[in-house]
Homo-oligomer: A and B are copies of this chain.
Amino acid sequence: MRIGVLTSGGDCPGLNAVIRSVVHRAVADHGDEVIGFHDGWRGLLEGDHRPLDLDAVAHILATGGTILGSSRVRPEQLRDGVGRAREHVAELGLDAVIPIGGEGTLKAARLLSDAGLPIVGVPKTIDNDIAATDVTFGFDTAVGVATEALDRLKTTAESHQRVLIVEVMGRHTGWIALHAGMAAGAHAIVVPERPFDIDELTAVVGKRFEMGKRFAIVVVAEGAKPRRGSMDFETGGTDVYGHERFAGVARQLAVELERRLGKEARPVILGHVQRGGTPTAYDRVLATRFGRRAVEAAHQGEFGMMTALRGTGITLVPLAEAVARLKTVPDERYAESECVL
């Protein structure tokens, strides 16, 4: 069999572990040939690729990033993207293509699959917001990095007697905020799924100071917004590509809480450290299992599918289902996090 693999979208710890696992299983178990496309869909559309043998993946299991590069190019946005993809797949004699990526990548994967290409997708997002799988790799690493930062920030907040508003990743969902906030014992957790009321948030943090505590930690997902009319809020608008710009919710919250509480409040934006670097053991194992399952699926002719974790097992779900809806933080999970002041 000849298998093509590519990584697309934002950086995510575990991408290299999937690539390695695909090559290991394909080459070592099945005697397949594997090629890697450069920079995601761009490599497939332009026929830019290289062979991947066991040596090529010998030292990448624990490394962040992706040896194949990535980009945000999407075939459906290009003139005749599907046709060019089909052409290169045929030219290269590929029996399967394994794209590794997030929601956008999987939508493109579905498009190509519907057009008859032999696709097995592997889901990837640090945000953990793909409904068809219990967990995505990268999420555990992101939560771990955020939690370690929060552990450090707590002693500093206490020493400086401050409110720290810590912004973590999560444009549409609050999974990282929820887990890191719970893991670090935050005093309030603000997620995009539940627009916040600034009066309530002020009351919560204020109550903590009334109780004699000397600091507070508020964890906020970057995509969080106030309830309509709750406070003046600068929205970020859209950038030249039409992507939503973020407005700096932590910065705005810090200003507002400082004004209302009369306590020093400071924003801390964790940023890209959450999506780079060596993956946790959890993410390496999950990524490795996904890679293996994708190769198996290809050999069993199960195309148009995506690998998924369900409970403790790896399974396949239709790509159509995979991208049907965003997995948001449900009320009962948010309720579990109820912070004690």
Contact = CB atoms under 8 A, between A and B. Distances in A.
Interface of A: 10-11, 15, 24, 28-29, 54, 61-66, 69-71, 134-135, 140, 143-149, 151-161, 164, 179-180, 182-185, 214, 266, 268-269, 271-273, 275-278, 280-282, 284-285, 288-289, 292, 310-312, 336, 338, 340
B277 A64 contact: no
A272 to B, nearest CB: 5
A276 B152 contact: yes
Interface SS of chain A = helix
A174 to B, nearest CB: 14
A147 B151 CA distance: 18
Contact of A152 (B28, B54, B145, B180): B145
A155 B64 contact: yes
21 contacts: A11-B156, A28-B338, A64-B156, A65-B159, A134-B312, A135-B312, A144-B281, A147-B284, A152-B273, A152-B276, A154-B277, A156-B276, A157-B276, A179-B281, A179-B285, A182-B284, A182-B285, A183-B282, A268-B273, A282-B282, A310-B311
Contact of A24 (B153, B266, B280, B340): B340
A155 B281 contact: no
A338 B29 contact: yes
A22 to B, nearest CB: 12
Q: Select the residue from A63, A148, A156, A161 with max chain B CB neighbours within 10 A.
A: A156
A154 B65 CA distance: 8
Given A179-B281, A183-B285, A311-B311, A155 B11 contact: yes
Given A153-B273, A277-B152, A159 B11 contact: yes
Contacts of A340: 24, 28, 54
B65 A180 contact: no
B153 A276 contact: yes
Contacts of A183: 61, 281-282, 284-285, 288
